[in-house]
Amino acid sequence: MLIYTLKRLLQAIPTLLIVITISFFLMRVAPGGPFDGERQLPPEIEANLMAAYHLDEPLPMQYLRYMGNLLQGDFGPSFKYKDFSVTELIAQGFPVSLEIGGLAILLALIIGLPLGIAAAIRRNSTVDYVVMGTALTGIAVPNFVIAPIFALVFGVLLGWLPAGGWNGGALPNLVLPVVALSIQQIAYIARMMRASMIEVLGSHFIRTARAKGLNEGEVIWRHAIRPALLPVMSYLGPAIAGIITGSVVIEQIFGIPGIGRYFVQGALNRDYTLVMGTVVFYGVLIVLMNLIVDLLYSALDPQIRYDD
Amino acid sequence: MPPDRTIVATGGRGKHDKMISKPCSKISRHLLATLGGITLAAFAIPAQAFSVNIANGAEPGTLDPQKTSGTWETRITRALFEGLVTYAKDGSLVPGLADRWEVGDDGKTYTFHLRDAEWSDGEPITAEDAVFALRRVLDPAIANQNANLYYPIVNARAINAGDKSADALGVEAVDSHTLRIRLSQPTAWFLQALAMTEAAPLPEHVIAKAAGWVQPGNTVSSGAFTLSEWQPQSRIVVEKNPHFHAADSVEVDKATFYPIDDAGSALNRFRTGEMDIAYSSVPSSRFAWARENLGDALRVGPLTAEYFYMFNLHDGQPLADKRVREALNLAVRRDVITDQILGQGQTPSFWYVPRNTANAPQGELDFADMPMDERMARAKALIQKAGYGPDHPLRLRLNYNTLEDHKKIAVAVAAMWKPLGVEVELINSEAAVHYATIREGNFEVARYGMVATINDPFDFLNAYADNGSASRSSGYHDAEYDALVAASTAELDPQKRRQLMTRAQQRLLDDYALLPLYDYVSVHLVSPDIQGWESNPMDVHPLRYLQESEQ
Amino acid sequence: MTSESKPYSGEQSHGAPLPAGGPNPPRAPEPEAGAAPMGESLARDAWRRLSQNRAAMASLALLIAIIVVCIVGPWLLPWGLAEVDWNAFGTGPALEGAHYLGTDANGRDLLTRVLYGGRVSLSVALVASFVSLVIGVLYGAISGYLGGRVDNVMMRFVDIMYSLPFMFLVILLMVVFGRNIFLIYAAIGAVEWLDMARIVRGQTLALKRREFIEAAHALGVRDTKIVTRHLIPNAIGPVIIYVTLTVPKVILLESFLSFLGLGVQEPLTSWGVLISEGVDMMESAPWMLLVPSFFLAATLFCLNFLGDGLRDALDPRTR
């Protein structure tokens, strides 16, 4: 198991190199630079800026410089947020995204799994239709529509919860963003759980269990749920990685200081170092999440062993 | 960067915050503590404290006053650093750290007399600090974006280009309280440039010590407030500076700036009462609603900024033909854009320099009073004469940067040009690409918003003068225009200067070198509980003048 | 879907029930386990079962209706895509002026724009899904059919691709090459083919051991022909299911890009663009949000129901 883990981590290195290289050069060939803005700068001043950030060097030089710094764990200073290094920004933004995203996934599991199971057991009943209909509505409405509606209705018109802001992660500030972020996840998880439950319930060993005279509740609890969770598990790894970096819309609408916005803002502002930093960080995150999921998978499914 | 720098050194949570904040989950606490290095220390505010919450456009890129690039930053730096001269609440200039000054008869020597003032750590503020700041703002390594405003100082340009050392700058501390600045030529707007936070004296004794000197705990301030907390993307807190020279007159005890870049979100949070002031939070799409529902809180004011379409006049471009430029100008109904599409009180403009700029030139496009049908007839005739017709329509690219209002205006203008047989391709790109496209001259018509850095026509006129940014991009060259602008800069008599500027602008307009659309307005939200906040063309609203309404 | 290609939680990740693990995946039961080659009778059988699924059939009908309206509608309406009614800026639904669903802030007819936007959204969805289909199917089939070392290398590549932050790359591509509708097609298609490749590979692995392939081999049929004539047609069941799940995913992805300001250029529009315009106006002009949202939601709703129905109909295990 340990050897397998190490091997996987080693394999991740070339992958990350590819990611870094592609992103680095894509970013640099993009038209526009970090200092292109409403105020056009006099040539002298622009030259000063370029020199200050080593942007006047040839591109391969810049690449080597970046890689060199990266090896020392230095993501460099942000172009836009000049008083902070990229490392500081990620260290500040990631926990926030993790909290929002983690809670949203948790909520989605707590609500989505039972719904999916119920729908599968009562397949083609009213319960099934209602659950799946609601789930599909959740999928069909983009969260950049849901989030502003939440903010307006519950934040402004009803005044029940803060309409935005982070406030150090205070509970009332968490509710709306987490719920808005989890709605689609609830829907996905419910659908997936339903599908895999149906599959498991139709399999031979469940039939055998029934034939042995176990009652239905026992069949479901003891035998069906665990294997049915496997596909949901493999969904969760990337979903977690995605949701914590990807709640861009939610972060923007609720003014939450997370990491997702850094990437989008960085890409749009040509904040080269910030974009690269988030890409590298995210690449590592994916590798780790996949690894964790695979390891958990083997824990849940005794048929899978990693000996190689 | 020093590795041990924490993001928030002396974190503070006011009583008010404490009451509504519940403990966040353990995991986040843990992560915050380990990853962010954020320490939260309880901090007491006296009872009846007057604290102001401000929705402030975006997260500041920096609070180093010489590295800032936008209003969302200078709103904060202005509270921290006081200039030799500074702004009153109506945007006019008043004495700051200098309580008086003299200008030599030739207009080339400025002598400032500093008052007895202290940094917030008790150190005296001296003329040396002012010299230090002016040398630093011109240091190529600082790469200040407004450095050209200080080029009138002797040797400034050469220093900024790296050709001379900083000591050569024509700035000296005569004694600890007297500063002398020598200019290479008289400059009408020089005092305006000194009011910018870029030129404010800086604490050499602090900057020498720490690279991240504008961080809570490291920094000292000369302004009415000190920086007490900075959580990136979350909030910045400033508190009253007891060492400020006019501390007695400052009523605000604490102000919190929230970086809220989503206008809808800022508006929401203003409506719930969480924010007392919300800057630029009412997009045109919500303006009608806001006017009906927010009453006096909605503050619309003039702004020294111009919205125009830049034409590419380079040889071989379709707009190198003056007849085409005139036709395009004629066909645009500016009142439809200001009234129907924006509806926020913008002034349709037939000129280039916004009318509410101090000392603004007069004069306008020659067709300003012509009825619309006549204008259209003339425009059609001109387009035809230029060689375009149904078989050979004029095809134009119109670039704008991503923003709902820019899109709406571009769509409307394209529709207005349609009767001329002009086929417009709309190109939307994010700001970085848009401005790069303009810089490289790779456009035909491009949306441009020019905002004055100082309350003077200089920024506008200079842009189209020789080697100015707009001249380089658009290819506009006119020796007589250049001469008029140069003369106006050196002219110290306001009347004569205005005449020179009027003549300069008229050359630009008679050439139809650009397509002015409207003079901007500023749209902000200010709670009725706050007084001392005045609309003004510079859109500066120093915190030190805000007061609580007596109710 | 269980790929790493979707950093953005809601926008594009889509809970398709087909599993696909991470790199070096310990797999949950893959389609290969059950889906048998689908012959004529099987197709008819599947259709019979699908037609008994009322939800799926209603979805199919509504979907067809939406597509027809989007294609035909603009020709029947009096207003053009970019035509401005100078007397009606941001007016509500009214018969007057033939703005049945009102106008946008530029005085353009909303219904007309929603239908044109539907053309764009649907065509992005179809083309992008098609791109992913072609790449994914060919790649998966070749990899599975050739097997051995080639298969190993090709799947290793897919694993590497899975680790790329794809959503980031799409945004970077849009930033680099500008907002071009063809680029949206290509970029989204390039993101979505990985799952498809895996599914088809699994199918192929299962199929190639079957008698009729072996027989073709024995008869000396060329490899390319075996892949295109025998393997791909026989793997079609799961592929269809997957496509019905890809289409809504792509529509959401496109609308997400639009929300970030990276959508199609004016005067073209899409449902995503219209919705993000409408969100700003939801208090003062709710119809500007509701109309395009309704079309988008209805389409996604139908596609998902249809996808579920297809899976139930095509997958023998769920009988």
Look up the CATH number of the domain holding residue A108: 1.10.3720.10
Interchain CB contact of C55 with A (< 8 Å): yes
Asked if the structure places residue A247 within a domain, the reply is: yes
Interchain CB contact of C171 with A (< 8 Å): yes
Total count of domains within chain A: 1
Rounded to an integer, what distance in angstroms lies between the CA atom of residue A177 and that of residue B335? Answer: 41
Interchain CB contact of C246 with A (< 8 Å): no
Total count of domains within chain C: 1
Q: Please judge whether B439 and A174 are an interchain contact, meaning their C-beta atoms are less than 8 angstroms apart.
A: no
Asked if the structure places residue A8 within a domain, the reply is: no
Q: Please judge whether A81 and B231 are an interchain contact, meaning their C-beta atoms are less than 8 angstroms apart.
A: no
Interchain CB contact of A177 with B (< 8 Å): no
Distance of CA A156 to the CA centre of its chain: 28
- Using alpha carbons, list the distances in angstroms from residue A217 to A81, A195, C304: 57, 19, 30
Rounded to an integer, what distance in angstroms lies between the CA atom of residue B362 and that of residue B503? Answer: 9
Angle, vertex CA A68, rays to CA A63 and CA A74, nearest 5: 105
pTM of the model: 0.82
- Using alpha carbons, list the distances in angstroms from residue B507 to B197, B365, B383, B491: 34, 10, 22, 19
pLDDT at A301: 63
How high does pLDDT run on average in chain A?
A: 81
* Nearest chain A CA: its distance from B395 CA (Å): 24
Interchain CB contact of A234 with C (< 8 Å): yes
Residues of C in contact with B410 (CB under 8 A): 266
pLDDT at A291: 78
Task: Find out whether C3 and C194 touch, Cβ atoms under 8 Å.
Answer: yes
- Pick from A173, A183, A146: nearest CA to B272: A173
Task: Find out whether A277 and A89 touch, Cβ atoms under 8 Å.
Answer: yes
Interface test with C, best of B428, B434, B443 (most C CBs within 10 A): B428
Task: Find out whether B306 and B449 touch, Cβ atoms under 8 Å.
Answer: yes
Q: Is C98 left (phi over 0), alpha (psi -120 to 50) or beta?
A: left
Q: Please judge whether A167 and B140 are an interchain contact, meaning their C-beta atoms are less than 8 angstroms apart.
A: no
Give the residues of chain B that fall short of pLDDT 50: 1-46
Q: What is the pLDDT of residues A173-203, one digit of tens each?
A: 899 999 988 888 888 888 888 888 887 887 7
H-assigned helices in B97-154? 127-138
* Residue B285, burial from CB neighbour count under 10 angstroms (0-12, 13-18, 19+): buried
Q: Please judge whether C168 and A23 are an interchain contact, meaning their C-beta atoms are less than 8 angstroms apart.
A: yes
Asked if the structure places residue A4 within a domain, the reply is: no
User: Where in the sequence is the domain holding C223, given as residue range(s)?
Assistant: 115-312
Helix (H, G, I), strand (E, B) or coil at B133: helix
Asked if the structure places residue C204 within a domain, the reply is: yes
Helix (H, G, I), strand (E, B) or coil at B449: strand
Asked if the structure places residue C108 within a domain, the reply is: no
Task: Find out whether C36 and C210 touch, Cβ atoms under 8 Å.
Answer: no
Torsion of CA B202, B206, B208, B211, to 10 degrees: -100
**Residue C165 pLDDT level (bands cut at 50, 70, 90):** low
Rounded to an integer, what distance in angstroms lies between the CA atom of residue C250 and that of residue B393? Answer: 37
pLDDT at B331: 94
Through-space distance between the first and last CA atoms of chain A, rounded to whole angstroms: 9
Q: Above 50 in pLDDT, residue A242?
A: yes
Torsion of CA B23, B27, B30, B33, to 10 degrees: -70
- Pick from C105, C207, C101, C201: nearest CA to C158: C201
pLDDT at B144: 85
Asked if the structure places residue A205 within a domain, the reply is: yes
Q: What is the pLDDT of residues A9-59, one digit of tens each?
A: 887 788 788 878 888 888 887 777 788 776 677 777 778 878 888 888 888
Structure tokens at C169: 């790359």
User: Where in the sequence is the domain holding A290, given as residue range(s)?
Assistant: 86-300
Q: What is the pLDDT of residues A142-154, one digit of tens each?
A: 888 888 889 889 9
**Residue A244 pLDDT level (bands cut at 50, 70, 90):** low
Interchain CB contact of A262 with C (< 8 Å): no
Task: Find out whether A86 and A274 touch, Cβ atoms under 8 Å.
Answer: yes
B170 CB contacts (<8 Å, ≥6 apart)?
B153, B154, B155, B156, B181, B182, B183, B184
Interchain CB contact of C272 with A (< 8 Å): yes
Q: Please judge whether B285 and C281 are an interchain contact, meaning their C-beta atoms are less than 8 angstroms apart.
A: yes
Least confident span in A149-153, A244-248, C23-27, C301-305: C23-27
Least CA distance to B35: which residue of chain A? Answer: A91
Q: Count the alpha carbons within 13 Å of C228 in the hemisphere toward its beta carbon.
A: 6
Structure tokens at A210: 């029934």
Q: Which residue has the tokens 């993001």?
A: B7
Does ipTM exceed 0.90? Answer: no
**How many CB atoms sit inside 10 A of residue A93's CB?**
27
Helix (H, G, I), strand (E, B) or coil at B299: strand
Rounded to an integer, what distance in angstroms lies between the CA atom of residue B217 and that of residue B121? Answer: 11
Interchain CB contact of C157 with A (< 8 Å): no
Interchain CB contact of A260 with B (< 8 Å): no
Asked if the structure places residue C9 within a domain, the reply is: no
* Nearest chain B CA: its distance from C97 CA (Å): 18
C14 CB contacts (<8 Å, ≥6 apart)?
A139, A188, C1, C6, C245, C248, C249, C252
Q: Please judge whether C165 and A279 are an interchain contact, meaning their C-beta atoms are less than 8 angstroms apart.
A: yes
Rounded to an integer, what distance in angstroms lies between the CA atom of residue B476 and that of residue B513? Answer: 7
Torsion of CA B486, B487, B489, B492, to 10 degrees: 170
Q: Please judge whether B428 and C277 are an interchain contact, meaning their C-beta atoms are less than 8 angstroms apart.
A: no
Rounded to an integer, what distance in angstroms lies between the CA atom of residue B505 and that of residue B292? Answer: 39
Q: Are strands B254-258 and B98-103 parallel, antiparallel or unpaired?
A: unpaired
Task: Give, for B172, the enclosing helix (H) or strand (E).
Answer: strand B171-175
Interchain CB contact of C32 with B (< 8 Å): no
Concatenate the DSSP letters of all residues of B507-532 into one string: HHHHTT-EEEEEEEEEEEEE-TTEES
Structure tokens at B14: 């006011």
pLDDT at C178: 67
CATH of the domain at C297: 1.10.3720.10
- Pick from B490, B492, B450, B499: nearest CA to B471: B450
H-assigned helices in B332-451? 334-335, 372-385, 404-417, 431-439
Q: Above 70 in pLDDT, residue C3?
A: no
**How many CB atoms sit inside 10 A of residue A252's CB?**
24
Asked if the structure places residue C165 within a domain, the reply is: yes
Rounded to an integer, what distance in angstroms lies between the CA atom of residue C263 and that of residue B525? Answer: 31
Helix (H, G, I), strand (E, B) or coil at C103: strand
Interchain CB contact of C2 with A (< 8 Å): yes
Chain A, 50-79: which have a CB under 8 Å from a chain B CB? 51-52, 77
Rounded to an integer, what distance in angstroms lies between the CA atom of residue C143 and that of residue C149? Answer: 9
Through-space distance between the first and last CA atoms of chain C, rounded to whole angstroms: 23
Q: Above 50 in pLDDT, residue C26?
A: no
Interchain CB contact of C223 with B (< 8 Å): no
Residues of B in contact with A51 (CB under 8 A): 140, 143
pLDDT at B13: 33
Asked if the structure places residue C214 within a domain, the reply is: yes
Smallest Cβ–Cβ distance between C82 and the set B404, B407, B415 belongs to B415
pLDDT at C11: 31
Q: Please judge whether C162 and A184 are an interchain contact, meaning their C-beta atoms are less than 8 angstroms apart.
A: no
Q: Above 70 in pLDDT, residue C15?
A: no
Neighboring chains of A (3 or more beta-carbon pairs < 8 A)? B, C
CB contacts < 8 A, A to B, total 209
Through-space distance between the first and last CA atoms of chain B, rounded to whole angstroms: 49
Asked if the structure places residue A18 within a domain, the reply is: no
